Structure 1
Amino acid sequence: MDKNQPIPEYQLFIHPADVSELRKDIWYDDPVAAKLTVNKKKYAIGIAYRGSHIRDLRKKSYAVEFYKPSKYQQATAVHWNAEFKDPSLLRNKLSFDFFTDIGCLAPAARFVFLKINGKNEGLYLEIEAVDECFLANRKLPKGAVFYAVDGDANFSLMSDLRKEVKESLALGYEQKCGTEQEHEYLQEFIYIINTVSREDFEAEIAKYVHVDQYLRWLAGVVLMQNFDGFVHNYALYRNGETGLFEVIPWDYDATWGRDVEGEVMEEDYLRIEGFNTLTARLLDVRAFRGRYRELLEELLDSKFTVAYIEPKIQALHASIRPYIEKDPYEKDNLAVFDQEPAFIYAYIEARGNYIREQLHLLDE
């Protein structure tokens, strides 16, 4: 984003009765009706609180659906994230941009300033929904998208939540688009991950997952240290032409040296091998492990560097700072906000050094 380009201002009107309805049960997912005005153009929308651990925070995050007109900037739905636990408000945006830079699919994101019923609600990160519009906007083949909604999306036969064999291999996923048959493909994929012999795995898994893309995603997760990203915080896209699954990141505020509570996350918190059954089986294959090592080395020398990322952070930081000053939830945290770029640079240096020291583990 050009630091001189103004951030869009959104005027939102929600009937007071509907505001009360939202507040009455923050876990209720059905949207209430609202009116959104952007640059004098009006939209009829549905709005609801979103997220899990973030719903009881003072500054709410929202899921938005467009009714009339039915699309806004080629999207039928978006998410407005408060980024309330991230003192920089930059980590989600920075993460999605980083994934795009390294050749992975990732949602588009931009900052907007929200007013609700005439009062400043603050700065938000508007995140593209991963759905059929996401695919169409990138001219990708039609296919299925599954959201990993809880810890059962662990690529395993065992439930991460119940500690027993899954009743269905589709547990942990919510389908956003695609045919009913896609559920069968998903379950077959997970079954293959867990049952194919070690000798046959390299050849068989390449029929189900875009291996190079998965390894790029894995490198990104490991470098940014999103601990939840292996069994949660992702979507699966099954390309309708190739039949291969690809991973798309989601909710990456707990990254770049801070955890979900905004506390310091040390640079050695997440191991270089990552987690989950699919990752373990892929890295058990010498050729895949070698390719993963190559990707990490390449990124450590090119894009996961202060020299590469600093200009991006400086531009984002400068562009949102005037709006932080108007944000009723963030305006008293300017001193910490101004220190965050240096904090992220220190993390990049420390994490990069740690990963370099661990590369030898991929040679074993």
Structure 2
Amino acid sequence: MIKNYYFRIVKNRKFKAGLSILFVVLFIGALMIFFLAGKFRNIETRAQFLLKHPGVTKILPLYWKIRKTTDITYLSYFFKKDEIPNYELVIAENDLQKMNDSLPDAFMNVIYTDNVFVPAEFRADGKIYKVRVRYRGKNAVHWNAPKKSYLVKFDKDNLFNGMSELNFIIPDDRLFAVEHFNNYRALKLGLKAPPSGFANLKVNGQKDALYFTIEGWSKEMLEKWNLPKDAELYGNDYGGSWGDIAGWQLLASNSKDFSKLEELISLLNQGTDEEFDARIFDIVDKDNFYAWQIHQELANSSHEGTDNLRLYFDPSKNKFFFIPWDVEIEPLASRDNFGNYETIAKRVFANPAFLQEKNRRLYNYVADEKNLEDDLAFYDRAYESFKVSLYKDRLKIYTNRFADESYAANRQQLIDIFHRLRDRLAAESSARGFDTVRIEDDFNLAYPLGKSDELVSYFKGRYIDDRGFVKELGQNFTSTYGDEDFIDTYFDTPQLDLYQRQAGLRYRVRTNRLDPEDDKIGRELIQLKLSGTDKFQDQDNAGSRNEIKFDVKRSVSGNIADDRNPVISLIAPDMREEFKARVRELGLNPYALRPILTIEQRRRRVYLNRDGDTFISFSMDDASSQLWGADSSFSQMEVELNELAYTAADARLKERMQKIREEMIADLREHFQYLQDDTTIKYTKMFDLLDVRLPWMKFLIRIGILRGKQPPLQSQK
């Protein structure tokens, strides 16, 4: 009986057909599980799997179609209007066959080198262009599916929007909005980047498909960048490296001259450390190189490590300039690429001064949360601009949900990388304590001489003895009290540029009245404080200042001009170049700086601490100064949001710091009617008081007769 059933089933065609369909569905389902779950979510792992099982590639087109059935939930977008340009390519069938015949036989893990251009028509905005076209992209992802990447070349006498070359790249290869965003951020950093965007492209009447578009390397691009006609654009791809000239090519040039690139490669590989450090920024533009490296680090990218290098030589400046290309973004969970330098960057940043300068500039970017807000706003706008076209694209092999998840994941990566860099550099700055821009947000109150004791007594009772207010802030808040003496020598130019700009440059030494064993006793440092348009960061906040600290270490550097300068000679030799660069950025000559006046002050301070670190402080300062027999004094309260905490804080925490300060100031005003707002910094305030007592003070400083005292030698701790 069982045998009879068996033969009936075996001979039943409908049953066999159904069984076959069931088998295919189960196999496709298994593939989806393999490719979408676990380790097979990784592209390289999937590639290795397909390489070992080539037969699976035969059913991939069916798998792609079945997978996209989930796009039915996006049906409403098919009735919405595209917001990006629509173009069309028309290629004769025999020419299209030539292009297809040029492709490798293997499905993946193969490099496409036999590129073939064929004639075609490119249609845009009602106009027809005679063009040449080929498949683009060396990796199989660009051409092993129905939707392929293209390079279109236009006639030199009939350019398209000023372009002689235009790439149409499948958008998933450029991580959808990521590369367009990278180009935007490159421009923010002062770098050049090829114009990019998004468009729909129809090939031989097929359905519209979404593409990432970017101008190809050409002399026309260099001209649009206002470069000289004899500028040279170099690039390398697979096999090209910094080892020698092999593998490099001139991508746009009127000549075949590699001599400048050979000079750079020779210095990189054969120059001594001393020679390399002295000459590298005579050959490569320093600002451009720092920005190029920072651009990669903001994307946690190593994709320009050996290939994908692009740089041009500008003969009018006699220097090379790097161009970001195919930067991508790499997840921090896979690898943190901070400090992972490619060949030339590794040589450059082996110099601590160069590394320090690059990190300073990078920190300036990530310390400002508005940069991240602007970055994310552009990234979101970019994705929104082509989202309708993306959802309507039926030639793509991935689902709409995959694209949305990729967009969201990379957006989060932008946030995580930004904050990781900020926190890392802030921690290094805190540990080192010098040479990084910090943001001070302080508020000053003037009060009559002799009132400090009264104010100190109130503060200690309100915030030290009675900790009710502090406890209300949170369990991680504490309060402490300090009593110190400071001696500050202020420097300026003969023209008093810093005085006029409400800035201050001072040498400071301190003494702790409460703890004679304090390690900070006798500690020396140089502080540069800037406000208004001179600030390097937080320029939109009128109430903040920038502070940059420099370590003090008196030693002979061998540079006579530095060793004789009253300020530069105080600064540690490895920080002198940075100091001079900072002063020059203000448009001032660092060698013109000289001591102007010295302020001695007693500072009694109440600290509000968060997690053991200073959060907000209130200082009662009694300051005095003497110059040529004239003396002046004043008292001032400084209400300061700690520069380290404030610099590292996000927008929400900064707002909380300001709110706590406002509540405490309001309480003070209620108890002490004599407190008056005071926006004048100590240097300016003391200078003005002495100026009343010393007629012709400014004139005497200008002609060099009146000078302050040079700081005395201190024992180095």
Normalised by the length of structure 1, the TM-score is 0.85
Match of 1:72 in 2: 160
Q: Structure 1 pair 40/180, CA: closer, same or farther in 2 (3 Å)?
A: closer
Letter of the aligned partner of 1:45 in structure 2?
V
8 Å CA contact retained: 1:273, 1:283: no
CA deviation digits over 1:112-168, x for unaligned, max 9? 100011112511111012321111112122310011222432x2x3xxxxxxxxxxx
Match of 2:304 in 1: 229
- Among 110, 115, 134, which residue is 2:221 paired with? 134
In structure 1, how many angstroms separate the alpha carbons of the residues matched to 2:136 and 2:200?
Answer: 18
- Among 330, 339, 351, which residue is 1:285 paired with? 351
Q: Structure 1 pair 236/31, CA: closer, same or farther in 2 (3 Å)?
A: same
In structure 1, how many angstroms separate the alpha carbons of the residues matched to 2:396 and 2:370?
Answer: 28
1:18 aligns with 2:95: yes
- Among 104, 113, 119, which residue is 1:33 paired with? 119
Match of 2:186 in 1: 99
CA deviation digits over 1:254-310, x for unaligned, max 9? 32x4xxxxxxx3356143223222101111222211211112112213479542222
In structure 2, how many angstroms separate the alpha carbons of the residues matched to 1:238 and 1:208?
Answer: 9
1:241 aligns with 2:316: yes
Match of 1:261 in 2: none
Match of 2:24 in 1: none
In structure 1, stretches of 5+ residues that fail to align are 158-168, 258-264
TM superposition shift of 1:238: 0.4
Match of 1:163 in 2: none
Q: Structure 1 pair 68/353, CA: closer, same or farther in 2 (3 Å)?
A: closer
- Among 232, 244, 250, which residue is 1:144 paired with? 232
- Among 360, 375, 383, which residue is 1:309 paired with? 375
- Among 208, 212, 218, which residue is 2:283 paired with? 208
Letter of the aligned partner of 1:41 in structure 2?
K
Letter of the aligned partner of 1:78 in structure 2?
L
SS at match of 2:119: strand
SS at match of 1:34: strand
Please tell me the root mean square deviation across aligned C-alpha atoms, in Å.
2.5
TM superposition shift of 1:335: 1.8
In structure 1, how many angstroms separate the alpha carbons of the residues matched to 2:385 and 2:149?
Answer: 21
Superposition pairs of residues 150-229 of structure 1, within 5 angstroms:
150-153=238-241, 155=242, 157=243, 169-180=244-255, 182-229=257-304
In structure 2, how many angstroms separate the alpha carbons of the residues matched to 1:131 and 1:68?
Answer: 11
TM superposition shift of 1:214: 0.8
In structure 2, how many angstroms separate the alpha carbons of the residues matched to 1:148 and 1:303?
Answer: 36
Letter of the aligned partner of 2:290 in structure 1?
L
1:351 aligns with 2:417: yes
TM superposition shift of 1:326: 2.1
8 Å CA contact retained: 2:143, 2:149: no
1:251 aligns with 2:317: no
SS at match of 2:335: coil
1:62 aligns with 2:146: no
Q: Rg bigger for which structure?
A: 2
SS at match of 1:272: coil
Q: Structure 1 pair 304/222, CA: closer, same or farther in 2 (3 Å)?
A: farther
Letter of the aligned partner of 2:353 in structure 1?
A
Letter of the aligned partner of 1:345 in structure 2?
R
Letter of the aligned partner of 1:272 in structure 2?
F
The percentage of aligned residue pairs carrying the same residue is 21
- Among 394, 408, 421, which residue is 1:328 paired with? 394
SS at match of 1:246: strand
8 Å CA contact retained: 1:267, 1:351: no
TM superposition shift of 1:5: 8.5
Letter of the aligned partner of 2:216 in structure 1?
A
Q: Structure 1 pair 271/357, CA: closer, same or farther in 2 (3 Å)?
A: farther
In structure 2, how many angstroms separate the alpha carbons of the residues matched to 1:199 and 1:245?
Answer: 20
In structure 2, how many angstroms separate the alpha carbons of the residues matched to 1:315 and 1:279?
Answer: 33
TM superposition shift of 1:100: 1.1
SS at match of 1:317: helix
SS at match of 2:207: strand
In structure 2, how many angstroms separate the alpha carbons of the residues matched to 1:304 and 1:280?
Answer: 30
8 Å CA contact retained: 1:141, 1:240: yes
Letter of the aligned partner of 2:401 in structure 1?
A
SS at match of 2:97: helix
SS at match of 2:258: helix
In structure 1, how many angstroms separate the alpha carbons of the residues matched to 2:365 and 2:407?
Answer: 20
Superposition pairs of residues 116-135 of structure 1, within 5 angstroms:
116-135=203-222
TM superposition shift of 1:199: 2.0
8 Å CA contact retained: 2:165, 2:217: no
Which of the two has greater helix per residue?
A: 2
8 Å CA contact retained: 2:303, 2:326: no
In structure 2, how many angstroms separate the alpha carbons of the residues matched to 1:200 and 1:281?
Answer: 12
Match of 1:49 in 2: 135
Q: Which moved more, 1:77-86 or 1:318-327?
A: 77-86
SS at match of 1:33: strand
In structure 2, how many angstroms separate the alpha carbons of the residues matched to 1:61 and 1:284?
Answer: 40
In structure 2, how many angstroms separate the alpha carbons of the residues matched to 1:71 and 1:121?
Answer: 23
8 Å CA contact retained: 2:90, 2:121: yes
In structure 1, how many angstroms separate the alpha carbons of the residues matched to 2:89 and 2:334?
Answer: 43
SS at match of 1:227: coil
SS at match of 1:120: coil
8 Å CA contact retained: 1:35, 1:42: yes
Q: Structure 1 pair 138/179, CA: closer, same or farther in 2 (3 Å)?
A: closer
Following superposition, which runs of at least 4 residues in structure 1 exceed 4 angstroms of deviation?
A: 303-306, 361-364
CA deviation digits over 1:322-363, x for unaligned, max 9? 111221234862223233443223212322233245433997
Q: Which moved more, 1:66-75 or 1:127-136?
A: 66-75
- Where relative contact order (Cα < 8 A, 6+ residues apart) is larger, the structure is 1
Letter of the aligned partner of 1:39 in structure 2?
D
In structure 2, how many angstroms separate the alpha carbons of the residues matched to 1:338 and 1:101?
Answer: 26
SS at match of 1:182: coil
In structure 1, how many angstroms separate the alpha carbons of the residues matched to 2:369 and 2:166?
Answer: 28
Q: Structure 1 pair 83/149, CA: closer, same or farther in 2 (3 Å)?
A: same
Q: Structure 1 pair 303/30, CA: closer, same or farther in 2 (3 Å)?
A: farther
In structure 2, how many angstroms separate the alpha carbons of the residues matched to 1:17 and 1:84?
Answer: 29
In structure 2, how many angstroms separate the alpha carbons of the residues matched to 1:349 and 1:68?
Answer: 43
8 Å CA contact retained: 1:14, 1:35: yes
Q: Structure 1 pair 71/302, CA: closer, same or farther in 2 (3 Å)?
A: farther
8 Å CA contact retained: 1:12, 1:37: yes
In structure 2, how many angstroms separate the alpha carbons of the residues matched to 1:111 and 1:124?
Answer: 6
Match of 2:51 in 1: none
TM superposition shift of 1:176: 1.7
TM superposition shift of 1:251: 2.0
SS at match of 1:232: coil
Match of 1:296 in 2: 362
Match of 2:195 in 1: 108
Normalised by the length of structure 2, the TM-score is 0.45
TM superposition shift of 1:65: 0.6
